[in-house]
Copies of this chain bind each other. A is one copy, B any other.
Amino acid sequence: MKIPTFKDIESAHERIRPYIHRTPVLTCSTINGMTGAELYFKCENFQKGGAFKARGATNAVFSLTGEKAKRGVATHSSGNHAAALSLTAKKRGIKAYVAMPRTAPEMKKRIVAGYGAEIRFCEPTVESREETCRNIIEETGATLIPSYNDFYIISGHGTVARELLDQAGDLDVMLTCVGGGGLLSGISIWAKHAKPGIRIIGGCPENADNSYRSFVTGKLQPPVPPNTIADGLLMPLGDLTFKIIRQYADEIVTVTEEEIIKAMQLIWERMKIIIEPSSAVAMAAVTKKRKELKNKKIGVILSGGNVDLKRLPF
């Protein structure tokens, strides 16, 4: 179980740069005024496929040998990783197979299909996803590209922090949402390398708090069925992401569903950008820790923008 280093993130960045967006960093004077801090929003909602997931998927797919690649890639995902993998496979000219829960948002299904992947629907449980995915691989010989608990995926995601520090300059704090922990792992490794004094905070829904419970107890906790609007954060930490987060992250904060929705509405209304509920978890965590974060220079990663416009919470 090898932990990526900053050099792996550098290599990943070189590898993926031709295929991904260097997403913009936006600021909002109204939100700065409300929080008393200086916030720099890294807009991965504008990333290819609508989420940061393109970074890890691109790194994983373009790291495969030609021989392996030609049999295709497979994954199980609630959506964003699936979209990213499908898009990346298309770019490499190979086939992508996706096991996707029937309950995934329509928007995400449409996007994955639009990128030309073959979708096989399963039940919304980890067991059903994994089984469906195993069947695909047996049939086709495709390579499994996990959605987060993976060396290449984490290395790819770490590139978000590299760009953010480059774009926003010195930051006191970097903050992102955490579900399976791939993004938080990657950005922690890079940020603590580039700026050892930086504080790394993960935000998670109270109703999907596997990462929080694992972090504070120091032991990877068994998952409890999540029940949150933040549909990108339904997965529990993996053994690799848990290890990295324990080593590099400073804190995990939980937020309520109401806080998530409020943060989402704030960003939609004030910044005029579309973020999905998972992204709002990071903003909700900033609001919750307002007092402590006052006058700090904070990088907030907006992880994605794939929302079903027919099912908005406000």
Contact = CB atoms under 8 A, between A and B. Distances in A.
Nearest to A110: B269
Nearest to A314: B309
Interface string A243-265: 00000000000000000000001
A299 interface: no
Contacts of A274: 268, 272-274
A305 interface: yes
Contacts of A271: 46
Interface string A267-311: 011011111000000000000000000000000000001000110
A64 interface: no
Nearest to A305: B272
Contact of A24 (B24, B265, B314): B24
A67 to B, nearest CB: 30
A284 to B, nearest CB: 17
Stoichiometry, as copies per complex, reads 2
A194 interface: no
Interface in A26-56: 26, 45-46, 50
Question: Which residue among A107, A305, A310, A314 has the maximum number of chain B CB atoms within 10 Å of its CB?
Answer: A305
A309 B262 CA distance: 12
Nearest to A48: B29
Contact of A309 (B26, B45, B268, B275): B268
Contacts of A275: 272
A224 interface: no
Given A46-B272, A273-B274, A274-B273, A265 B309 contact: yes
Contact of A269 (B46, B268, B309, B312): B309
Interface string A229-240: 000000000000
B50 A272 contact: yes
Contacts of A314: 309-310
A269 B310 contact: no
Give me the 6 closest cross-chain CB pairs, A-B, nearest first.
A272-B305, A272-B274, A45-B272, A309-B314, A273-B273, A46-B272
Given A50-B272, A268-B274, A272-B305, 18 more contacts: A24-B24, A45-B272, A46-B271, A46-B272, A107-B269, A265-B309, A268-B309, A269-B309, A272-B273, A272-B274, A272-B275, A273-B273, A273-B274, A274-B274, A309-B312, A309-B314, A310-B314, A312-B312
22 contacts: A24-B24, A26-B46, A45-B272, A46-B271, A46-B272, A50-B272, A107-B269, A265-B309, A268-B274, A268-B309, A269-B309, A272-B273, A272-B274, A272-B275, A272-B305, A273-B273, A273-B274, A274-B274, A309-B312, A309-B314, A310-B314, A312-B312
